[in-house]
Amino acid sequence: MALKFYMAPGSCSTGIHILLETLELPFEVWIVNLPAGEHLRPEYLKINPRATIPTLVLDDGRAVTDFKSIALWLAETYPRGKLLPDDPAQAARAVELLDFALIQLHGEGYTRIFTSERYLSSAGRQQQHLKDDVASHGREIVSQAFGVLEKRLPADGYAAGPQFSIADAALFYNEFWADKIGIPMPPRVAAHYQRVRARPVVRQVLAEEGYRS
Give me the domains of the chain, ranges plus CATH numbers: 3-81 (3.40.30.10), 88-199 (1.20.1050.10)
Strand, helix or coil for residue 116: helix
Where is 56: in which H helix or E strand? strand 55-57
User: How far apart (Å, rounded) are the C-alpha atoms in residues 26 and 28?
Assistant: 7
User: How far apart (Å, rounded) are the C-alpha atoms in residues 103 and 61?
Assistant: 28
Pairing of strands 27-31, 3-7: parallel
Contact (CB, 8 A) for 56 and 73: yes
Tens digit of each residue's pLDDT (9 = 90 or more) over 68-88: 999 999 999 999 999 999 999
> Mean pLDDT across the stretch 7-29?
96
Contact (CB, 8 A) for 25 and 4: no
Instruction: Residue 21: count other Cβ atoms within 10 Å of its Cβ.
Output: 17
Tens digit of each residue's pLDDT (9 = 90 or more) over 87-137: 999 999 999 999 999 999 999 999 999 988 888 777 767 788 788 889 999
Contact (CB, 8 A) for 90 and 96: no
At residue 2, the pLDDT reads: 85
Say if residue 213's pLDDT is above 60: no
